[in-house]
Homo-oligomer: A and B are copies of this chain.
Amino acid sequence: MSKSTNGCQSCLHYVFDYETTKTLVVPSLRVGLVFRLAQLVVLLYVVGYVCVVQKAYQETDSVISTVTTKVKGFVFTNTSNMEPRFWDVVDSVIPPQGDHSFFVLTNLVETPDQTQSRCPEFPTPSTICVDDCDCIVGHNDPRGNGVQTGLCENYSTTVKTCEVHSWCPLEIDTKLPERALLAAAENFTVLIKNSITYRKFNFHRRNIRPHVNSSYLKSCEFNRKTNPDCPIFRLKHIVSEAGEDFQEMAVKGGILGILIDWSCDLDWWPGKCYPRYTFSRLDSKDPVNNVSPGYNFRFAKYYKTADGQETRTLIKAYGIRFEVIVFGTAGKFAIVPTIVNLGATLAFLSLVPAITDWFMLMFMRRRELYSRHKTSHLTEEQNAESTSMSTTYGTQ
């Protein structure tokens, strides 16, 4: 055999010789029980908790969703404040496009026929005046309603206030009807169409389920018990499911969430992946630290008179903003999270022998015997080592 063959052989030996640990079999039931028990605990954790409860073998994806809403209904109001009027959804739902968020008008303060002109301010300590000297031309009080013209005019027979350039007459928003004007909007219904996608899993679904037909959809109304699949909701029902009273909420307004939960396990029950609806009030009712409670905003309809002057009808609209919030996470088996979790489990299983050894060498009656057979010491060198070590470890 040549030298090169020898070199190659030793290299092959280096690569392919298998080095295995030498082991000692201890035929002790107690130690064995501890060992198996520890293994069992780790395995139970993995199978039970990680796999079944947490589904850690899955990768997840968040939902992408589209929502359209369509409100139906009308209200006829006939109160002393206002002339009789018929309101349909075109008049009372803003914006009209049927987005995921829509506002339903329930109460309002209307200020018709405002024009760009001048009028005396509301009387407050800073606006009440005696003569024109008290009013500064161009003064611009952020709490006020316009820019002062410098004149002091009669607000009423008894009070004079500074005149302002503004949209006049000024809005008097303190006379909000105590019973919501469009209280009957509680009977409006809203059809919610929602399509979702989990892109990672190429999974598409709609909230209108396949077994539901058109005729059912024309007449149904959502009810958690009797009609859980119907995508048509009565506003009153939504509000009451959120634990609120529509009539109470209608006066000052508020924000109501229609939460659609699409959480799904696509491994086991892709067929059972359907939306779960919940409802909750999103704004705060807390009266303590609450500036401008409820929900309102102002908008105007602009007109032109025959002589070309612009006028507007200002509306301070109180109502309920409904927000459709779609969320959810889908999980599906994937290799990487599975491997990572199995790996972590294996790492814990590798702790088991260490624990068992510790138990065996600490608590067993025959621990001396076990230790003698399991552990060998470098005895003949011990002295030499010990001498050198005493110098090293010593406390001189």
Q: Which residues of A contact B (CB under 8 A)?
A: 1, 4-5, 8-9, 12-13, 15-29, 31-33, 35-36, 45, 49-50, 54, 56, 62, 64, 66, 68, 70, 72-74, 76, 84-86, 88-91, 94-99, 101, 103, 116, 138, 140, 142, 145-147, 165-167, 187, 189, 191, 193, 195, 199, 206, 208-214, 217-218, 255, 257, 282-284, 288-292, 295, 297-306, 311-312, 314, 321, 323, 325, 327, 335-336, 339-348, 350-351, 353, 356-357, 360, 366, 369-370, 373-378, 381-382, 385-386, 389-390, 392-395
Contact = CB atoms under 8 A, between A and B. Distances in A.
A381 B371 CA distance: 13
Contacts of A98: 295, 297
A395 B344 contact: no
Nearest to A62: B62
B90 A314 contact: yes
Contact of A375 (B15, B25, B32, B297): B25
A23 B23 contact: no
Contacts of A15: 32, 36
26 contacts: A9-B393, A18-B28, A19-B25, A20-B26, A20-B357, A24-B375, A24-B376, A24-B377, A25-B378, A27-B386, A50-B339, A64-B327, A84-B116, A86-B167, A94-B96, A94-B97, A195-B282, A211-B289, A217-B291, A339-B348, A342-B347, A342-B348, A343-B347, A345-B347, A346-B347, A373-B378
Contact of A393 (B29, B73, B305): B29
A373 B390 CA distance: 23
B13 A20 contact: no
A105 to B, nearest CB: 11
A375 B103 CA distance: 79
A242 B31 CA distance: 68
A374 B23 contact: yes
Contacts of A290: 208, 214
Contacts of A189: 142
B283 A8 contact: no
Contacts of A24: 19-22, 375-378
A11 to B, nearest CB: 9
Main secondary structure of the interface of A (DSSP, over half): mixed
A378 B289 contact: no
Contacts of A347: 342-347, 350
A72 B378 contact: no
Contact of A86 (B22, B166, B376): B166
A145 B87 CA distance: 11
Contacts of A395: 4-5, 8
B32 A85 contact: no
A342 B344 contact: yes
B16 A25 contact: no
A350 B287 CA distance: 59
Q: Quick one: which of A45, A166, A339 has the most chain B CB within 10 A?
A: A339
Given A16-B36, A27-B382, A369-B378, 9 more contacts: A27-B377, A29-B389, A29-B393, A70-B292, A211-B289, A214-B288, A214-B290, A304-B311, A343-B348
Given A8-B393, A336-B54, A344-B339, A25 B17 contact: yes
Contact of A298 (B89, B303, B370, B382): B89
Contacts of A35: 16, 18
A281 to B, nearest CB: 10
A279 to B, nearest CB: 14
A162 to B, nearest CB: 14
A29 B387 CA distance: 12
